[in-house]
């Protein structure tokens, strides 16, 4: 009649296997060692060979060499070859080859399939692919591909050889890295290495808070809250275009001054390294939003706008303006004729934009809101 399963064969031999758990079901017909059985209470091995169900309520549908349980209960491997669950808490492997969910004290993970994928933290998901890892940070996801690592909490990756270690960060494509919080890297070998950055394209880097490197190739977005694109002559960032916003809202006395910053309080436009030259276009507008006390001759809503073109360079660690710059004819209310925005090389060798409030009498103060769009064409050597 050929081979058949004998329920009573629980004598510790390899053929019969060790004693099953109470209420367990084990329908596999061969095993490589005696412990390859449904050894825990209410566990199930529906078929296959050399499978092991060692936790309460563990289910293995079939396949060969699969093992679940040991640290915790209620885990599932539906099939495949040599898949292993050794974590705690409700993990699932759908199938595939040599996938594993490990990490003592962690669980509730899913590997849908694929080959040699590794889960190692709570609430992680790997949809498939090969040699992907979702570990360290909880709620990490790899949607597929090969060699991706999602280790940041709530991180997502997919494609080939991407690394996502920042909190709630994302990387798709090939060999991209999103290594800080809320960062996005996509394309080929892009790097988003500071918080809230985006790097898209071929080897584009976004390296300062809130910066975006997009399009082109070999761009380095290194100014806070900037958008950069370009190409390279010999090194990354030596031929690129950058734009950003500087702004300030400040209460000033007659002729008072303030330097524009961004929302993080940073004075923007610090040149990266040495031997760099910028063509700088500044488009700015200022408006009086409030008056405190007496400010004779100035009215709320008075405004001024102007365009400025300058050259700016940093050589040998020292920044300077090149020439006196070109200032367009201002569009202004009469009271704002004395207001100005002047670019200078600041104390940290940055491109500093200093606003001077209009002059007025009466001893009061005015609140001015100033916004400047700065566009840079940059070359380095």
pLDDT at position 6? 47
What mean pLDDT do residues 128-137 have?
93
d(CA 316, CA 310): 20
pLDDT at position 1? 42
- Reply yes or no on whether the pLDDT at 163 is more than 90: yes
- Reply yes or no on whether the pLDDT at 230 is more than 50: yes
pLDDT at position 267? 67
Q: What is the pTM of this model?
A: 0.90
pLDDT at position 281? 97
pLDDT at position 71? 74
pLDDT at position 136? 84
- 164-203 confidence digits (pLDDT tens): 999 999 999 999 999 999 999 999 999 999 999 999 999 9
- Reply yes or no on whether the pLDDT at 157 is more than 60: yes
Residue listed under structure tokens 């073109």: 309
pLDDT at position 199? 98
HSE (side-chain half, CA atoms, 13 Å) at 147: 8
- 194-210 confidence digits (pLDDT tens): 999 999 999 999 999 99
pLDDT at position 102? 86
Indicate the pLDDT class of residue 4, thresholds 50, 70 and 90.
Answer: very low
Q: Which of 330, 337, 327 is nearest to 357 (CA)?
A: 337
- Reply yes or no on whether the pLDDT at 3 is more than 60: no
pLDDT at position 89? 81
pLDDT at position 262? 80
d(CA 80, CA 94): 8
Indicate the pLDDT class of residue 265, thresholds 50, 70 and 90.
Answer: low
């Amino acid at each position: 009649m050929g081979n058949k399963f004998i329920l009573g064969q629980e004598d510790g031999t390899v053929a019969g296997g060790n004693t099953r758990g109470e209420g367990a079901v084990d329908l596999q017909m061969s095993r490589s060692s005696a412990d390859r059985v449904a050894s825990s209470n209410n566990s199930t091995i529906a078929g296959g060979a050399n499978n092991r169900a060692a936790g309460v309520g563990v289910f293995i549908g079939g396949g060969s060499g699969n093992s679940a349980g040991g640290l915790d209960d209620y885990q599932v491997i539906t099939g495949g070859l040599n898949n292993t669950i050794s974590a705690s808490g409700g993990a699932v492997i759908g199938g595939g080859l040599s996938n594993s969910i490990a990490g003592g004290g962690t669980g509730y993970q899913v590997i849908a399939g694929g080959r040699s994928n590794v889960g190692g933290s709570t609430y992680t998901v790997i949809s498939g692919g090969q040699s992907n890892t979702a570990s360290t940070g909880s709620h990490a996801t790899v949607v597929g591909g090969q060699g991706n690592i999602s280790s940041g909490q709530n991180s997502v990756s997919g494609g080939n050889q991407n690394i996502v270690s920042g909190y709630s960060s994302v990387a798709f494509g090939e060999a991209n890295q999103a290594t800080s919080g809320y960062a996005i890297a996509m394309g080929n070998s892009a790097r988003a290495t500071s918080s809230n950055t985006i790097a898209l394209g071929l080897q584009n880097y976004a390296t300062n808070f809130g910066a975006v490197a997009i399009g082109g190739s070999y761009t380095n977005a290194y100014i806070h809250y900037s958008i950069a694109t370009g190409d390279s002559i010999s090194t990354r960032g030596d031929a690129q275009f950058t734009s950003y916003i500087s702004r300030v809202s400040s209460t000033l006395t007659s002729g008072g001054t303030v330097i524009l910053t961004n929302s993080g309080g940073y004075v923007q436009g610090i040149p990266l390294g040495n031997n760099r030259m910028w063509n700088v276009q500044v488009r700015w507008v200022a408006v009086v939003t409030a008056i405190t006390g007496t400010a004779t001759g100035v009215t709320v809503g008075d405004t001024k706008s102007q365009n400025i073109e300058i050259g700016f360079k940093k050589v040998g660690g020292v920044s300077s303006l090149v020439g006196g710059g070109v200032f367009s004819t201002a569009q202004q209310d009469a009271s704002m004729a004395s207001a100005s925005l002047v670019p200078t090389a600041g104390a940290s060798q940055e491109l500093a934009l200093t606003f001077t409030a209009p002059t007025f009498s009466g001893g009061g103060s005015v609140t001015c809101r100033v916004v400047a769009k700065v566009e840079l064409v940059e070359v380095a050597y």
